Structures are given as C-alpha cells and as structure tokens.
Structure 1
Amino acid sequence: MVLSRFWLVIFISSILFVVISLFSGSTYTIDYVLNGEKGDRILVSEKYIDQVPAFIRDSIQLKADKTMIVNRDLSNNDTTYVYKNQTVQIYSGVQKSDGLLATCRSSLVDIIIPLIAYLAFFCGLMELLIISGVSGKLAKVLSPVFVKVFPSIPKNHPSISYMTLNFAANFLGLDSAATPFGLKAMESLQELNPDKDTASDAQIMFMCLHASGLTLIATSIIGYRAAAGSSNPADVMLPCIITSFIGTIAAFLIVGVKQKINFKSASLVIGLMTLIGAIVGLLMYVNHLDLIGKNYFTSNLSGLILLAIIGFTLFYAFRQEKKFAEAKTTVFDSFVVGANNGVKTGVTIFPYVLGMLAAISLFRNSGLFDIISDGIAFIFSNLGVNKQIIDAMPVALLRPFSSAGSRGFLLDSMSTFGADSLTGRLSSIFQCSAESTFYVIAVYFGSVNIKNTRYALGTMLLVDVICVITAIFVATWFF
C-alpha cells in the first residue's frame, strides 16, 4: 500500500511539475521528457536567425553544417546553435536519463532480457542443488542460526539455503547470481505465507537484510575507480565494508525489535561473531598486500568463488545421478526445468520493474529531483557541511531509486572532482553501501505478487539514511 501511494505521488507530482514548467516558460519543450535518450542535447529555445547575436549569425552562415558550438569545453555542457528551416534551435546541456518511452524500451532490452538470462542459468543450477540434496544439507547446517532470525521458518526449510546463497553472492559482489537466489528465496518463503497478498515477517526480514547490501568485494566500484585513474582503486574497500556492515546490523535490529526477536540467543551470537571474524580475517589478509596484490586479489576472488559454486554444483549433481534417476529425470533435463522456471519468473516481474523505472525516469527528467537535490545541498551548506560532501550527495539521493542513475552521478563526480578526492571516494562508498530500494521492492515482492509490503519500505529507507550518515563519518575518518 505504501509503495503504491509513493509510486502515484512520484508520477503525479512529476507530471504536474512538467506541465507547470512548460506553461510558465521555464521549459521550452517537454519532448525530451517522453522521447529523449540519456546524453541527448536539450532544446532550450528557438529563434529566427536575425534574433541571435551577430557573431553567432555570421558564424552559422559560414559553417557548411549550419551549426555553431559556443564555449566548447569537454568538462562542461556546450551551448549549440543549429540553423534549420529558417530558425535557430538553441540546445544547452544534456539529458541525464532516458525519457519515459525510451525507458520502457530499455527496461526490456537492457534490464529484463539480461536478467531473464541470469535467472534461467542460476535457477537451473538451483534445481540441481535441490534434487541432488545440497540445498537440504545446507539448510540443516544453518538452521540453528536462521530459525532465530526467522522464527516463522520451520527447521531445515529450503528457503534457508536460498537465502544463504543470496547473502553469500551479495557479500562477494556477485549481483548476477544474488538476484536469482533471492527470488527463489522469496518464492520459497511465499509458500509459508498465510496471507499471500501481504508480506510475511520472514519476507520483510529477508528483504531488509538483502537491501542493506553487505558487501566484502566491491568489484564494480573498484573497476570504476581504476578506469577513472585512481592511484589506489581498492582504498574504499574497507570503508564500504564498514558502512554496509553497519547498515546490515541496523536493518537486523530495527526489524528484529519490530518482530520481537530474541537477540540473546547463543546460536545467533555465535553466527554474528563468526561473520565478524570472517570479515576481520579477510581484511587483515588484504591489508598486508601491496597495491598490485590488492587489485589482483579483489578482481579475481569473486569470479573464482562463482566458478567454484558452479563447478561444485555440477560435480555433485554428477555424483548423485541416482537421485535424478529416482526422480525420473537427468541432470541436464533438471537444469532445463529450472531454467524454464527462471524465465517464467523474469516475465512475471517485468511489469513491476517497468512501472517503477518509468516513474523514476519521469521524476528525474521533470527537474523535480534536481530541485530536491539542490534544496538539500543548500540546507547542508548553511549547516557548515563540507562542500566535498555536498557534491557527493546526488549519488546518495538517487541510489534508493536507481542504481544506473546513481552510477552516472558517481562517474560524473569522479570525472569532475577526481577519483581520489573526498567527493569521488564518498560517492563510491554511497554507491556500494546499499541496494536500490524501490527497484528491489518492485522485483522481489512483485515476483510473488505481494501487494502490501507493510513496514518494509519505511525500514529500508531508514537503513538507507543510516548508511548515508555512516558513509560520511567513515569517509571523513579515513580520507
């Protein structure tokens, strides 16, 4: 219900703002809001050729292409004058995200089709894990901890193994594997849900822990920083881990208090201490490596573990061929069945993803997001907040809405201020410290047709705020 109302508010307020901007003269055309693509020039005015300054008019007439670019600077947006059909069209700035209709197309081509491919492959592997008995054994080993965190889940339930694989994939920065495992977990938890339209306690806990984004190897962030010319691309790894870990603990405590979980459980404390120990141990190992060693380690660890998971799954399935024969199937046929289920899941979540991304596109291109962002920056500047922190805030503000959008701001901040500036580093920490809240809710709850998300959205947004505050303190402490 909350998500539905928020979605309506985004759409309606953005449309009203676009219409008001057009009729007030603040915007010359709204075509880019609907049909424009990211990086396109924005038409801001149109005049007859005798209405433009003489030097521009003369320059246009001398050019073969009837085009003139003023203040050409690769680090800033150009103002371009284009003579066409007896008028001069004036463009200034570039579009920050795709328009509404372009987003509808790209959400299918660039997001859903790749996601369906990932879902097909990893759901095929999940089917092998289920029939071979690996998932059941994993659930049995981890049940003592999970039944304390998820009291409503029966001991040894299959959802435990799916959630474990999802958390592990997120932990290692394997986004392509995390989503299929997470969707499988939501489907399994939905089987236990007595009210199919309303999120259960277990689903809310899982969603909030997943969205807190606990990450050990921020592979993509390190890659972006390396491409931007950072002298030490991996230097944000420890701040990212600290920020995302605090976000995860905050999510667990907030939801745990709401659900009256027993925090004094011995198995829960042991599980938490084991996790902390693993993080500290790996950090100590990475910390003693030199720059080349860190880059080599961080760029290969996640990939090696993913290959190990795939290899182990296939090898164990081969060793357990008798179980497949008892189920009247083969290893390959089971993979195909699982892959087919993954494709169906991808088709199911497409409308949810489309609806959310379309609203975000309209919100960004309407100019409403920029006004809110500028307003927050103005408040922060008057409170005496460091300008380098303010310059990184667009990444934090857009991160809950769109991973791609905040990534664009991240790359822009590193290009403008430098990858090794406080702004560039803080932007990197913002980007890797949490998930895209609205996208995640649309995908995961949409996959099982949950309509009432209860307090999940509010909790996830609160965790986002906690991660932002933590990231600021950690960044200023380290850098």
Structure 2
Amino acid sequence: MILNYIWIGFFLLAFIIACVRLVVLGDTEVFPILVNSTFESAETAFKLALNLTGAMAMWLGIMKIGEKAGVVSLLAYLFGPFFKRLFPEIPANHPAIAPIFMKLSANLLGLDNAGTPLGIKAMKEMQSLNPTPDTASNAQIMFAVLNTTGLTFIPVQVLLYRSQYGAANPAEVFIPILLSTSITALSGMMIVAVRQRLNLFDRVFLTYLLGIFAVLSTLIYTFSQLPQERISHVSGVLSNFLLFSIIIFFIVLALVRGQGNQVFSAFIEGAKEGFDVMVQLIPYLVSVLIAVGVFRDVKALDVIISYLEYMFRQFSLDPEFTKALPVAFMKPLSGSGATGMALDTMKAYGVDSFAGKLSSVFQGTTDTTLFILAVYFGSVNIKKIRYATSAGLMADLIGITAAIIICYLFFG
C-alpha cells in the first residue's frame, strides 16, 4: 500500500540527506540527531496514547449510554437517507451511525479531543460489517478520507495564534480557510465516491448536501457580522456548549426511555473498551511518529522547498507562496509540526505578510492525513487500506492548491 512506501521513503530520504550533510558539509551531529529523534518520537507516541486513553474511555462510555438510550434509531430517522447513499454498506439503525455523525459534527466544531475517540469507535463498529477484516471496507475508506480533509467550521486555534502574534485583523483568514477546507472535503468525498461508483447526483443526497451547505453559509454569515475580537470567544463557548449538551441529551434520553437505572453501568461498559483500543493503537502511533520525526529533523523539507523555489523562479512565476509551503507539506504528517512551522513563518516574515496569512490558511485547509489513516485503520488491525492514502493525499493536494489560489485572490 502507498502508506508503506511513504514510510520507507521517509527513512531512505532522511538517510541520503544525512549522508550528504555529513560528507559534503561536515555535519557530524546529523546522525546523533536522527537517532535521538527516533527515541524521542517513540516516547512521544507512548505519551500520546496515554493522554488519549482517558478521553477514549470517557467518550466510548458516553457513546454506550447513547446506544442503550436509542440514539442510533433517532439519528437513522433524521439522516438515514443521506447515510444510506454515502455509506451504502451500513444498514439502517446500525451502531456505527451515531459515532460517524458525532465525529463529523466534532470536526465541524473543531473539537479534536472528542473527535479521535469517536472516530475510532466508528471504525470499530464498521469493522463488524467488514467481510474481510484485514482489508478496509468502502464505508471505512469514505469515513477515513472525510476525516483526513479536516473540514472545520471555526479554526479557533489559527485565529488565536494570529491574535497572539499581533495580527491587525486576526479573523481576516476566516473566509479563505472556510473556502479552502470545503474544497478539500468536497474533493475527498468525490474522489472516493467515483472509486466506489456512488451516485453523487442522487436527488435525496443533493438535497441533504445543499441543506448542510445552507446551514454552514448561514453560520459563516452570522460569524462574519461579529466583531473580530469576539469570533474566537463566541465560537469556543458555542462549540463546548453543544458538546456538553450532547452528553446531557444522551443521559436525559436514557431516563425518558426507562433506561435510567443502566446509565452508569452502560458508561463503565463502554469505557472499558477504550483501554483495549489504545493498547492496540500504540505500535501504529510509534511507527508514524518516528518516520515523521526523522524526516523533519534531517531538514528534508528545506531541501524540497529550496528546489521548488528555484524551479518557480526559472519559469518567472511568483515564488512568494513557497515560504509557507513547509506548513502545507508538514500538515498531512504532523499537526504539531505544522503548527510550529506556521508560527515560525509568522515570526520570520510577519503575521500579516502574504506568507504569514497563507501559512494560517494552510493550517485550516486539511488535517494530519497519514496520522489519521494510521490511527483509524490501526485501531481495527486493518493492514490493507486500498486507495485510502492516495485519495486522502489527492484531496490534500487539491485543497492546498485551492488555498494558494484563494490567498492570491484575497491577499495578493
């Protein structure tokens, strides 16, 4: 699979560049740096798994309460026709429906801590329908790719970083990010739909899709009318209010449906599953983070970006956007790495420079594609993920290209 070759490529490219730095530049520290990077990345992966274990246990417990209360049948009634066309393999009233819906909703609200446990829960439920347990099903691929596109309504962190770095108008990138991330999500969905021969022009499907975009457009307009200094605050309060309201709704629904005496036991039952999942996930986290670590620490991106800048100059094209490209390259690999590069770009060129604004838009355009695929498919022991990697990276490429064009239109 492509992920396998990407993983190998990271190590081989890191070794080649390290050899050049050692022989040509006399950099005797490069190999100690790479070896230390592998140990540090492995430690980071284990710590990340530990940090996620509590959130995983909590959200799987909450989901089990909702499942016992009948929230699946409620969501199937409201969104069944839409899910039936997007995930035709999943039967109506199947337990996978609730975590899928909640995970995609968490993405829109920018609730990453809640999103990962819900995504893994959805993958486990879909795995129960998978006739070939070691190979990704169509439904799992569609779900995973939709998550790699990172469609988020309010990019709170990006706006906060811009504010902290003294941007004249921190929310100036809000609309460009919404446009770019929407293009990424739509591209990912269409790429997978074409591969799976889904009918995207079905009347019912288009009606739901238009309804979703109408709601998003209304919210975009509403937030665009707020004073810029209040956008991050209001979106943060609203997102967390909605998230906690969902927990209360599950509990109240259980009480209304006569399941009140089973709420606590249902939570414990679901929470126990979280620990088993995280133990299984650790090897996949280690494998991804050590590969990304050596690729980053050997400064491979610097070499690639320098070459691209040279090529664009040769064709008399504006190379200004290449200053922000490290963020675009790192984003599918590492969220924290991309954040660090975005902040470095803002600091080096100015938060209100073209490169500073573009790096902010890159941050909100897509998500950590390779990390998400490794975590989601690793959580259910799937080794053959078929075209999930190529579809996710192609959607990223389309989104990044769109982000560059949009930024030139808005800020160029």
What is the Cα deviation at residue 289 of structure 1? Answer: 1.9
Residue pairs, 1:163-174, within 5 angstroms? 163-174=100-111
Q: Partners in 2 of 1:211 and 1:384 — Cα distance?
A: 34
**Contact 2:84–2:90 (8 Å) recurs in 1:** yes
**Residue in structure 1 matched with residue 205 of structure 2 by the alignment:** 268
What is the identity, as a one-letter code, of the residue corresponding to 1:34? V
Corresponding position of 1:392: 324
Quick one: which of 374, 377, 380 aligns to 1:442? 374
Instruction: Please say if residues 170 and 214 of structure 1, whose CA atoms lie closer than 8 Å, have aligned partners that are also in contact.
Output: yes
Q: Is residue 212–residue 434 contact of structure 1 (8 Å, CA) maintained in 2?
A: yes
Whether 1:137 aligns to 2:74 is: yes
Contact 1:364 1:370 in 2 (8 A): no
Aligned partner of 1:323 in structure 2 is 259
Q: Would you tell me which structure has more strand in proportion to its own residues?
A: 1
CA displacement, residues 376-418 of structure 1 (integer Å, 9 cap, x when unaligned) = 2222333344343111111001111111111110011111222
Given the superposition, is the C-alpha separation of residues 424 and 20 from structure 1 closer, same or farther in structure 2, using an over 3 Å criterion?
Answer: closer
What is aligned with 1:7?
7
CA contact (8 A) 1:147 1:154 kept: yes
CA distance in 2, matches of 1:227, 1:310: 32
In structure 1, the gaps of 5 or more residues are 36-98
Secondary structure in 2 aligned to 1:338?
helix
Percent sequence identity over aligned pairs: 33
Q: Counterparts of 1:249 and 1:472 in 2: how far apart (Å)?
A: 17
Amino acid at match of 1:32: I
Given the alignment of the two structures, is residue 419 of structure 1 paired with residue 355 of structure 2, yes or no? no
Query: In structure 2, what is the Cα distance between the partners aligned to 1:135 and 1:381?
Result: 56
- Of 195, 215, 235 in structure 2, the residue corresponding to residue 278 of structure 1 is 215
Q: 1:252 aligns with which of 189, 193, 216?
A: 189
1:425, 1:314 → 2: CA distance?
Answer: 43
In the other structure, the counterpart of 1:472 is 404
Are 2:213 and 1:213 equivalent residues in the alignment? no
Whichever residue aligns with residue 396 of structure 2, its letter is D
Q: 1:180 is matched with which residue: 117, 128, 131?
A: 117
Paired residue for 2:162?
225
Residues in 1 aligned to 2:105 and 2:410: alpha-carbon distance in whole angstroms: 27
State the Cα deviation string for residues 273-300 of structure 1 (Å, max 9, x = none).
0011011111111122222343432332
**After the TM superposition, which of the residue ranges 193-202 and 134-143 deviates more from structure 2?**
134-143
DSSP-derived class of the 1:127 partner: helix
Tell me which residue corresponds to 1:75. Answer: none
In 2, the alpha carbon distance for the partners of 1:382 and 1:317 equals 66
Alignment-derived partner of residue 405 in structure 1? 337
SS at match of 2:259: helix
TM-aligned CA deviation for residue 16 of structure 1: 4.1
Residue in structure 2 matched with residue 107 of structure 1 by the alignment: 45
Matched, 1:120 2:121: no
Going from structure 1 to structure 2, the CA distance change for 1:295 and 1:452 (only over 3 Å counts) comes to: closer
Q: Does 1:33 align with 2:34?
A: yes
Q: Normalised by the size of structure 1, how large is the TM-score?
A: 0.82
Per-residue CA deviation, residues 67-120 of structure 1 (Å, 9 max, x unaligned), is xxxxxxxxxxxxxxxxxxxxxxxxxxxxxxxx21111112222x2222112111
Letter in 2 for 1:214: L
Counterpart in the other structure of 1:22: 22
**Does the 8 A contact of 2:160 with 2:232 survive in 1?**
no
Per-residue CA deviations over 1:242-286 (Å, capped at 9, x if unaligned) read: 111111111111111111111221210111100110111111111
2:300 is aligned to: 368
CA distance in 1, matches of 2:314, 2:400: 19
Corresponding residue SS for 1:229:
coil
CA contact under 8 A between 2:72 and 2:94: conserved in structure 1?
no
AA paired with 1:323?
Q
How far apart, in 1, do the equivalents of 2:324 and 2:363 lie?
10
Contact 1:240 1:433 in 2 (8 A): yes
1:288 aligned onto 2:289: no
What is the aligned partner in structure 1 of residue 267 from structure 2? Answer: 335
Please give the secondary structure, in 2, of the residue aligned with 1:440. Answer: helix
Which has more radius of gyration?
1
Q: SS in structure 1 opposite 2:345?
A: helix
* Aligned partner of residue 158 in structure 1, secondary structure: coil
Aligned-pair CA distance for 1:450: 0.8
Q: Within 5 Å, give how 1:140-155 maps onto structure 2.
A: 140-155=77-92
Structure-2 residue corresponding to 1:306 = 243
CA contact (8 A) 2:145 2:388 kept: yes
1:152-199 CA-partner distances (Å, limit 9, x unpaired): 221222212211111100011011111111111111111111111111
What displacement does 1:25 show?
4.7
Structure 1 residue 367: Cα displacement: 3.1
Query: Retained in 1: the 8 A contact 2:167–2:351?
Result: yes
Measure the CA separation in 1 of the matches of 2:60 and 2:333: 27
- Which runs of structure 2 are paired with 1:346-385 in the superposition (5 Å)? 346-385=278-317
Q: Deviations over 1:216-256 (max 9, x none)?
A: 01111111111111222222121111111111111111111
TM-score w.r.t. length of structure 2: 0.95
Q: Aligned equivalents of 2:134 and 2:326: distance in 1?
A: 35
Point out the more displaced range, 455-464 or 24-33: 24-33
Q: 1:139: Cα distance to partner?
A: 2.4
CA distance in 2, matches of 1:7, 1:309: 38
- 1: CA distance between counterparts of 2:279 and 2:73? 28
C-alpha deviation, 1:315, in angstroms: 2.9
Shift of 1:333: 2.2
Distance in 1 (CA, whole Å) between partners of 2:349 and 2:365 is: 21
For 2:150 and 2:203, how far apart are their aligned partners in 1?
Answer: 25
> Displacement, 1:425?
1.3
| Residue 43 (structure 1) aligns with | none
Task: Report if the CA contact (8 A) 1:430-1:471 is conserved.
Answer: yes
> Is the 8 Å Cα contact of residues 301 and 326 (structure 2) preserved in structure 1?
no
Question: Shift of the alpha carbon at 1:316?
Answer: 2.6
Q: Distance in 1 between matches of 2:196 and 2:164?
A: 44
Match of 1:386, SS state, is coil
Quick check: 1:158 aligned with 2:95? yes
